[in-house]
A and B are shown apart, each in its own frame.
Chain A
């Protein structure tokens, strides 16, 4: 269930500019808020209360640790787009276009040539 919840975090935050800003600026506080009040929402009225992060998942999200998220089987597309939103502009200013995306790839090189962790739920 929690792998689903990690994907739900990435999905809901990536598509909401206010959440994204809060996740970028103060990830520890935002992850706690999300887990308590945003994640359980099914709609404006209904709540689903049985999901939660494992300690490892929570720390990976707090630390923007996309390597750990990849290794846990978080969906690659959700993980890539949210961290591009957070880091791409700063990297581009310092090191040019695609420098964040290439660093992302470089930090995952230990998986090259191996079967990746499955993103199936």
Chain B
């Protein structure tokens, strides 16, 4: 059976690359610290020596649109292009071609269907910044085959936080059941409190710093009970109109398992949002 070597849950800040590669005199004051934290985080994936990456990202109206909007989607292609024109334009993200892992995609799709998750699927899926940003931060050589999973955190009605958790648990079961000697890492990205296109956007930090601190603590401790008691669609809306991206971090914690303490926990309070970096090593703890 395959080994789940690491689970990474992180925010995806599309300006990381631009902010840390700009001429030093043009960099934001936190750029050097940001780079240090990201490079330390990258090492948590390198150390796991993965062969395949299962990557979870949130759609940003790139892959999906309202004419035909999936709730959960899995890519099943041999290769994936990235990045979209408007992300190159706005964030300065480069283009990529990532190898897919068709066999694990097929196994994952069937396994999730068998566990009650009726996924949409795509054989021509272009990857956007919610997966490319974690590639840039955690695996910049982009040398591993991926299985991409996209979720709806933008177009109501959204699945519940509990559903994201349960999906994480199902992904874990499928990875554990995959008949292979490969080492698989799951890398997923989301948000803490965040506002986009609203009155609280682009402030000095995220719109709800108190939520951000609590959210990191819940994730770090694998405390799903506290999350399900405290996090609802209404509470996330109060913490910023794009805070629903937090549910992808709940999903990643679901892959790691309940009461499973993260081995690496770090964060950085940036302008308009807080960055978070968490890694679990399922081999080294209860899950």
Contacts and interface: CB of A to CB of B under 8 A. Distances in A.
Contact of B61 (A42, A77, A84, A105): A77
A110 B62 CA distance: 30
Nearest to A10: B61
B65 A11 contact: yes
Contacts of A16: 85
A10 to B, nearest CB: 9
Contact of B90 (A4, A85, A98, A121): A85
A121 B84 CA distance: 25
B60 A109 contact: no
Contacts of B60: 77
Contact of A77 (B85, B89, B196, B203): B196
Nearest to B26: A97
B156 A118 contact: yes
Contact of B198 (A11, A70, A118, A121): A70
B116 interface: no
A72 to B, nearest CB: 13
A112 interface: yes
B2 to A, nearest CB: 35
Nearest to B158: A120
Interface residues of A, number: 36
B86 A85 contact: yes
Contacts of B85: 15-17
Contact of A76 (B86, B157, B202, B242): B242
Given A14-B86, A77-B61, A104 B156 contact: no
B96 interface: no
A8 B84 CA distance: 17
Instruction: List the 3 closest A-B pairs by CB distance, nearest first.
Output: A76-B197, A80-B197, A108-B199
Interface of B: 60-62, 65-67, 84-86, 89-90, 154-157, 196-203, 237, 241-242, 271
Given A16-B85, A70-B197, A78-B61, 10 more contacts: A77-B196, A77-B197, A85-B90, A105-B198, A105-B200, A105-B201, A108-B199, A109-B199, A112-B200, A115-B237
12 contacts: A4-B66, A8-B65, A75-B61, A75-B155, A76-B241, A77-B61, A77-B154, A77-B196, A79-B197, A101-B202, A119-B156, A121-B66
